[in-house]
Structure 1
């Protein structure tokens, strides 16, 4: 009887020094799960530090290692999508290569999965990333939970999770170009649970998640999974209209009943600048939606695979219409 297969999906971007320690740590955990087979699906997201050469060396001594290589950087969420597309597991565990997602939690993930859950999140109860970064991420996660994804863990999870084969199949049907792994998995609606953990500090190298990328991810989250931006435009429009009506009534009442005029260019300029700022804000929000509509209309491949390691010829060919194999 074949043992259940667990795929460990790992996006990689300039992680050369982390790959060997990560592989060793996760392999040790997987060997302790004697009732399961496993595979690594590493996705090199256009690394320029020799990460793929390290993966090639790992593959030479461990047949569990499979890898894809992109010709350029497509983003971590696209890399995760490729790994899920190519994985063959009955379940897939998505992890970062920097060991900030503790491999020891894999056992708990598998136990919850065998207990009947289709999605198991690694829920952060704290993080060693510095006060400013931790506070900023905490605010972001609370906003996501309040306005976009109600089931999202309060302390955040990133993309550290286990998903069952039904979730994998559902995830692969989501073809939008602006992707957030945790959002699409939560949107699918399968039975889910959390495994709490404290996120340690990165030991080797520096994170590629800059402030700019985090802001971009926040915008993607609210545009893709919440009606808040569009509703905010409506609320601002109503508020400005109401204030304009009140001010107009004030001017008319002063003129008709008291024979006085409202004086001053400052109030006029303030009103003009306020309205101009609100209009530009609304145009910017609409522009975010239009830009995403344009990307979907272009229908370009989600990613391009330049090279594969360890996949059989059929699996290494184009798995679906959203990818291209060079």
Structure 2
């Protein structure tokens, strides 16, 4: 019999967990010829999420919970889930019900047709602000243009991946993980499942614009060196322009005896070049900081407890 495991990262989702379980379990009950499990990964929730999951586990032996020792971030929570599932197919889905569990049978159908990854591709994003939709669209298009790996546009973490793909992801050990990029990096046959993303069933998004900005930086620095190349190219361009302008000033002074331009123009040039230098020192710092994190080789996450149908490990 084929097996399916569903990974659900959870961070302060007490308002949606009951409804998520009802809808997802209804879908799993209708699957023929396939055993299924749901693994919740609690990423340091401070509300009643863990208590609600404990109650659900007592009622349904298909459910289990891994509770991380603190908030390590969603990428680490997803990694913990992938490290602890054993199934022919694995589905990653958020608990907020923006990604409909009712699409699971269609994902399974495409997987049975031979695809190792079936990723959800959003055609609409209801309930999200214009700014968030616009910045997300620009980010994915930027990554598509400059990244070393083709990351599908308008996709999130909602996807089905095969056992072979899960094993490949487990072999990747970097600390700074941009999962959307890693899902694409491993290759293997992939196909999009287009759908309209619903608004959150309840509660608020845990990603503010500052977290999204840092998330974007992780993606850019993990899968492209374009910012470093831009620093080199712009530096050469400024150096060449400075050489031409300096030659012009010298020739003009020798031939016509004009004095060197005064203080305002000099300060403008100095401040401009200084600003460019500081900006690209920051770019270098981002890459060096990530290299520093990799050399420490700390574990990506620590587990506080593992609960499987009431049994703690």
Which category of TM-score, normalised to the shorter sequence, fits these structures?
over 0.9
> What residue number does 2:304 align with?
306
Cα 1:167–1:100 change in 2 (3 A) is same
- Deviation of 1:14 (Å): 0.2
Consecutive unaligned residues of structure 2, counting only runs of 5 or more, are: none
> What residue number does 1:76 align with?
74
- Deviation of 1:119 (Å): 0.9
Cα 1:305–1:311 change in 2 (3 A) is farther
TM-score if structure 2 supplies the norm length?
0.96
Choose the corresponding residue for 1:278, options 276, 279, 295: 276
> What residue number does 1:140 align with?
139
For 1:234 and 1:59, how far apart are their aligned partners in 2? Answer: 56
For 2:116 and 2:309, how far apart are their aligned partners in 1? Answer: 26
Q: Which moved more, 1:242-251 or 1:50-59?
A: 242-251
Report runs of 4+ in structure 1 exceeding 4 Å deviation: none
> What residue number does 2:24 align with?
26
**Aligned with 2:299: secondary structure?**
coil
**1:129-183 CA-partner distances (Å, limit 9, x unpaired):** 02121111111111122112653222x2111111111110010111111111111
> What residue number does 1:263 align with?
261
Indicate whether 1:165 and 2:160 are aligned.
no
- Deviation of 1:250 (Å): 1.6
**1:163-205 CA-partner distances (Å, limit 9, x unpaired):** 1111100101111111111111101111111001111111200
Cα 1:43–1:92 change in 2 (3 A) is same
Indicate whether 1:151 and 2:154 are aligned.
no
Looking at both structures, which has the greater relative contact order when contacts are Cα pairs under 8 Å and sequence separation is at least 6? 2
Choose the corresponding residue for 1:223, options 210, 221, 224: 221
**Aligned with 1:74: secondary structure?**
coil
- Deviation of 1:22 (Å): 0.7
For 1:167 and 1:27, how far apart are their aligned partners in 2? Answer: 25
- Deviation of 1:228 (Å): 1.1
Cα 1:169–1:37 change in 2 (3 A) is same
TM-score if structure 1 supplies the norm length?
0.92
**RMSD between superposed Cα atoms in Å:** 1.6
- Deviation of 1:259 (Å): 2.5
For 2:148 and 2:199, how far apart are their aligned partners in 1? Answer: 26
> What residue number does 2:100 align with?
102
For 1:197 and 1:70, how far apart are their aligned partners in 2? Answer: 31
For 2:80 and 2:259, how far apart are their aligned partners in 1? Answer: 67
> What residue number does 2:294 align with?
296
**Aligned with 1:303: secondary structure?**
coil
**1:60-112 CA-partner distances (Å, limit 9, x unpaired):** 01011011001210001110000010011111111110000111111121111
Cα 1:232–1:164 change in 2 (3 A) is same
For 1:215 and 1:200, how far apart are their aligned partners in 2? Answer: 23
**1:211-258 CA-partner distances (Å, limit 9, x unpaired):** 011000110001001111111111121121122112112212212333
**1:266-292 CA-partner distances (Å, limit 9, x unpaired):** 111111111111111111111111111
